[in-house]
Each structure stands twice: as C-alpha cells, then as structure tokens.
Amino acid sequence: MDIKAELYLGDCTEILKNIPDNSVDLVFTSPPYADQRKSTYGGIAPDIYVDWFLPITSELLRVLKPSGTFVLNIKEKVVNGERSTYVMELIIEMRKQGWFWTEEFIWHKKNCYPGKWPNRFRDAWERLLQFNKSKSFSMYQEEVMVPMGDWKKTRLKNLSETDKIRDNSKVGSGFGKNISNWIDRDMAYPTNVLHLATECSNKNHSAAFPEGLPEWFIKLFTKPGDWVLDPFMGSGTTNIVAQRMSRNSIGIEIIPEYYEKVKKEIQPVHYVLFEPKPDYEKAQPERRYAIR
C-alpha cells in the first residue's frame, strides 16, 4: 500500500475548502499562539483570536470523519501580567459550532523554558484539547500503554486476600476473570497527563512540539492507512511523524520557506508493507506470575 503526504502552500482557511467532507481521521495541530510569532504569522492579537480561529474550526468540523478526533495544542500567553481567556472562550464557542469537548490532556514539559520573574514561575505545561464530532469515536488505547510501575511486582503475589474480598462482595461476575486480565500484563493504561521533554537541539528548525506529542495521539486515534491533517504545518512535525507511522497526511502552511523545507524532507508517496498484526498484538507479554 502507498502512504501519501499532501502538502499545500497557502492560508488554511482557503485550502481547507478543497478537502472533502468526512475524510480525515485525526487533526493534530498547534496554531500560532496569540501575539506570538509576529514575524512569521503576523501575530493574531488575543482579542481577535477567537473570531479568527472559528472559521477554521468550522471547516475542520466538516472535513473530519464522524469517528475522528481533533487535538488542539494551545496555551494562552500572559498579557499584562494576566493569563488571557481566549482559550476558554474558544472552547465555549467551538461547542456552539457542534464540537464535543471530550477531554483536556496536559503536556507536562520535563524541561521547560528557563527564566525568573517576580510574579510567576516557569510555565511547564500546555493544553491538548480533544474535540470530537460525535460521542463515539475511534480510540486505540492499547497502542499507548506504558510499562507498569513497581506495583505489579508486589501486586500479583497478594491476590488471595484483598482482591478476593473485594470481588466476592459483589454479586456474580467471576473473580477469576478479573484477575486473569492482570496476569498477562506488564503494561498499564496511561493517564491524561503526558510527561515529555521538549526537543531542543533540532536540525535548524524549531519545532513547536516534540515528535512524541503527535506520535502519541496518532497512535491513540488512528490506525495505519488513516488520514492525519495539520492545518498549521510549520516545520512539518505532524506530517513527518505520520508518514513514519504509515498514516496518510495533509499539511497546510502559509509561509513559503517552511512549506519548501517540509517538501524536501518528506516523500509525496511512500510504499509500505503492512504487517499482518498491529504491534501490540504481536508483543504478547509472557506469563510470569501464577496465582496462588
């Protein structure tokens, strides 16, 4: 099968109109922050940010599949010693457009920007807002499972006491079945806090987010062959990661320099041989602990 990467140069408000309805599985993007990147994007002032962004989210709502997800990486900046409220207003207005605000993930930055101010500490987190078109959407939770902590070592030895009691106190629904779910597991489901480091020493371009960020959401919300869209492509992190993970992608960028750069880094069509099974099924953990 071939994996495509379609790149467009221009204003995403316009370009998006050419993308068909219900065709995208995941939108992952980090729009220009208000009043930031003045030299490149022209700097959208905080007080007009919501009005500027809403026509775009309206198009995104159209192109997203009903089972798809929109993940918006954003953080309001400090204006005049105070956090702006445009992100709050944006969430409220997007709900009026028809979006469901399913969840707010936190990107807890391991290494945040240094600095010292008299009235605040360093900002070590950003929002990752999850919006959906309907209440039932695709989610592949097993793909992002993480190694369990020390818990497991001690846990599975004690099954005889607590867990029996707790489960026996409830009617029916076998105790044995519940436990058997755990035996074969070295992995646990993650939480809604992502603890990643920002990438610093990059190849010339300063990515707004580390590759681990789109990678995690692409794993979670798409499968190979699905379509991923980033309407504010920037240095192309989302699209590069998507291609590496065998997902089709669309990228839109208004700055010619960025556009050209990504075009050179990415192949328009990339042939891959699909594995018969996704990774998490192949990597079946061994049974190491027995019930006593």
User: Under the rule (CB under 8 A), what is the footprint of a copy of itself?
Assistant: 80-83, 85, 88-89, 91-92, 95, 100-104, 106, 108, 112, 116, 118-125, 135-137, 139, 141, 189-193
Based on the shown chain and the rule CB under 7 A, indicate whether residue 154 belongs to the binding site for DNA. yes
Examine residue 108 and tell whether it contacts DNA (CB under 7 A). no
CB of 264 to a copy of itself, least distance (A): 27
From DNA, a copy of itself, none, interface partner of 88 (C-beta below 5 to 8 A by class) = a copy of itself
Shortest distance, CB of residue 282 to DNA, whole angstroms? Answer: 20
Distance (Å, whole) CA 104 – CA 45: 24
What is the phi/psi pair of residue 178, to 5°?
Answer: -60, -50
Please list every residue from 234 through 273 that binds DNA, using CB under 7 A: 234
d(CA 114, CA 178): 46
Task: Map the footprint of DNA across residues 78-97, applying CB under 7 A.
Answer: 78, 81
201 three-class SS: coil
Q: Give the CA angle between residues 52, 55, 59 to the nearest 5°.
A: 145
SS3 (DSSP) at 66: strand
Residue identified by tokens 């006593």 is 292
- Residue 260 tokens read as 């050209």
Q: How far is CA 164 from CA 152, 168, 176, in A?
A: 17, 6, 9
Binding residue for DNA, selected from 20, 96, 115, 286, defined by CB under 7 A: 115
Contact call for residue 116 and DNA (CB under 7 A): yes
Residue 198 vs 243, nearer CB to DNA: 198
Separation of first and last alpha carbons in the chain = 48
Show contacts with DNA in window 12-51 (CB under 7 A).
30-33, 36-38
Q: Check if the beta carbon of residue 64 is closer than 8 Å to that of residue 133.
A: yes
CB of 138 to a copy of itself, least distance (A): 10
Helix 237-244 to helix 256-265 angle (10° resolution) is: 20
User: Considering all CA atoms of the chain, what is the largest pairwise distance in Å, rounded to the nearest integer?
Assistant: 66
- Smallest distance from DNA to CB 276, Å: 26
Binding footprint of DNA on the chain (CB under 7 A): 30-33, 36-38, 73, 75, 77-78, 81, 110-120, 122-123, 126, 148-152, 154, 157-158, 160-163, 165-167, 170-173, 177-178, 181-182, 185, 188-189, 197-202, 206-209, 232, 234
